Amino acid sequence: MLDTSTENSFILVVDDTLTNLEIISEALTEAGFEVATAIDGKKALQKIQHRLPDLILLDVMMPVMDGFETCKHLKTHPETHDIPVIFMTAITDTDSKVEALSLGAVDYITKPFHKAEVLARISTHLQLRNLTKNLETRVVERTSELNRVLQDLQEYQLQLIQQEKMSVLGQLVAGLAHEINNPVSCIYGNLGHALSYFESMSHLIDLYQNYYPHPVTEIQNEISEMDLEYVRSDLPNLIFSMKEGIQRIRDMSRSLRIFSRSDTENKIQFDIHEGIDSTILILKHRLKGSENRADIEIKKHYGEVPLINCFPGQLNQVFMNILANAIDALDESFTSNQSSVINSEIIGIPQVLIQTMLSEDTNNVLIKIKDNGIGMLDEVQQKIFDNLFTTKPVGKGTGLGLSIARQIIVQKHEGKLEVNSAMGKGSEFIITIPID
């Protein structure tokens, strides 16, 4: 009885004897198979080009192209390699059977045929092929499923790393900013009072000198020794300088609070320029020059962009990762041992250009961060966002920064993070974030 899984299978019968073709074709048709015939190997290969059979019955001794040659041809082509081939032969010597099997045939049938045997063997090999196909499909599906699970696990690990990192960093920076802010606010407020007190004392000195222009010798000597006029003229400048320094500390404290702000479960309105500026201020110490390069120049070209719905803390981390990488690239590019390979298009001053603008459809904000470093090779660009990929020496990088950055932009903000780079022409990262 024919297995239902093999019904309607397409079988190609190749034999140069018409009687054999008729007998086998009739038996296979009655059994529910779809049948095609060919009288030699060459014509069989021509028919296969139009439609691939599920199984081939192949005679050994044929003109033009015999069965062995035909089988060799079938097994050397990927599209026909897996088609089961059963040889039909009147030759009973063992060598011929061994050769047939060594060429890739799955079985052989000895002439004269026995209908039941032929149908049983065909049905068995069709079932085996179907099982093999199903197994291969399940392996592919299972492999794909495992790859998805692995990718999900890696992304989840990145989320945990990022959340833990931001949580610890946020607590540390927020606490530091709070501790700095208290004494700084005290100093900033008291400097105003100090200036007011000095002005009052200076007025009192003017009154004293007006009514007592000729004090005793000891007082005159002290005035001359301390250079009173210079002190009176310079002290306000000192107070203003201290006030400016304290203001810079206050700005840094504010930047730390902006950068480390905790994200809620929902997105909030945020000024990306404020986030970029706070990140630059935190990285300011890394912009200073060294014996290998000049100060890094930050050029900002901010467009008129609205507030965007986002997770500010996470977005600040993206700015930090990209800008820190740009500084690393400039450090590497402008060292003395790299100067010989830097393209002439790279100017002598290391620079980072930051641009913000609306997309053409005004639905997205574009943030472009470009350095004028040495750039990246194509193979590096293709892996730059991969988890744990890094070109930095051991201990200098984890390979997580850009991977986390892309996850934040793509998954958390439904945006895009792209890179354009060429050797000798620097690198540019382009962040696209929906406004709503």
The torsion defined by the Cα of 199, 203, 205 and 210, in degrees rounded to 10, comes to: 160
Residues 269 and 254 in one domain: no
Helix H or strand E encompassing 13: strand 10-14
Q: Does residue 123 lie within any of the structural domains?
A: no
Residues 33 and 94 in one domain: yes
pLDDT greater than 60 at residue 371 = yes
pLDDT exceeds 60 at position 83: yes
**Average pLDDT rounded to a whole number, residues 250-279:** 77
Say whether both 274 and 250 belong to one domain.
Answer: no
pLDDT band at residue 167 using 50, 70 and 90 as cut-offs: low
* pLDDT of 406: 87
| Same structural domain, 177 and 207 | yes
297, pLDDT greater than 60 = yes
380 falls within a domain: yes
pLDDT at 339 over 50: no
Which of 408, 416, 417, 415 is closest to 163 using CA atoms?
408
At how many degrees (to 10) do helices 18-30 and 115-211 cross?
A: 70
Portion of the chain with pLDDT greater than 70, in percent? 83
pLDDT exceeds 80 at position 45:
yes
Dig out the tokens for 412 from the structure. 């958390």
For residue 100, is pLDDT > 80?
A: no
| CA neighbor of 164 nearest in space, from 376, 317, 360 | 317
Domain shared by 303 and 425, yes or no = yes
Query: Of 51, 86, 113, which closes a domain?
Result: 113
For residue 342, pLDDT over 50 is answered with no
Domain-ending residue, one of 80, 113, 146? 113
Label residue 432 by pLDDT band (50, 70, 90). Answer: very high
Average pLDDT over residues 90-109: 76
Is there a cis peptide before residue 213, judged by omega within 30 degrees of 0? no
Tell me the average pLDDT of the chain. 81
Residue 299 is part of a domain; what is its CATH number? 3.30.565.10
Which one of 212, 228, 262 terminates a domain? 262
Q: What is the pLDDT of residue 188?
A: 81
Q: Which of 354, 420, 414 is nearest to 384 (CA)?
A: 420
Range among 7-11, 22-26, 332-336 with highest mean pLDDT value: 22-26
SS3 378: helix
Question: What CATH number does the domain containing 73 carry?
Answer: 3.40.50.2300
Q: Are residues 243 and 282 in the same domain?
A: no
Residue 140 lies in a domain: no
- Chain centroid to Cα 228, Å, comes to 66
In terms of phi and psi (left: phi > 0; alpha: psi -120 to 50; beta: otherwise), the region of 286 is alpha
What is the C-alpha separation between 14 and 37, in angstroms, rounded?
Answer: 6
Same domain, 43 and 9: yes
Q: Check whether residue 165 and residue 101 sit in a common domain.
A: no
Note the pLDDT of residue 91.
67
Residues 318 and 400 in one domain: yes
- For residue 191, the cross-strand partners are none
Please state the pTM of the whole predicted model. 0.51
Q: Domain range for residue 164?
A: 154-262
Domain co-membership, 218 together with 270: no
Query: Is residue 106 located within the same domain as residue 166?
Result: no
Does residue 297 sit within a domain? yes
Residue 145 is assigned to a structural domain of this protein = no
CA atoms of 176 and 249, how far apart (whole Å): 12
Is 94 within the bounds of a domain? yes
Mean pLDDT value across residues 163-187: 67
Distance CA 29, CA 37 (A): 12
Q: Taking 50 as the threshold, does the pLDDT of residue 1 lie above it?
A: no
Q: What is the pLDDT of residue 400?
A: 65
For residues 307 and 178, state if they share a domain.
no
Contact 415, 309 (CB under 8 A): no
Q: Kind and range of the H or E element at 430?
A: strand 427-434
354 part of a folded domain:
yes
Count the domains in the chain. Answer: 3
Task: Tell me, yes or no, whether 124 lies in a domain.
Answer: no
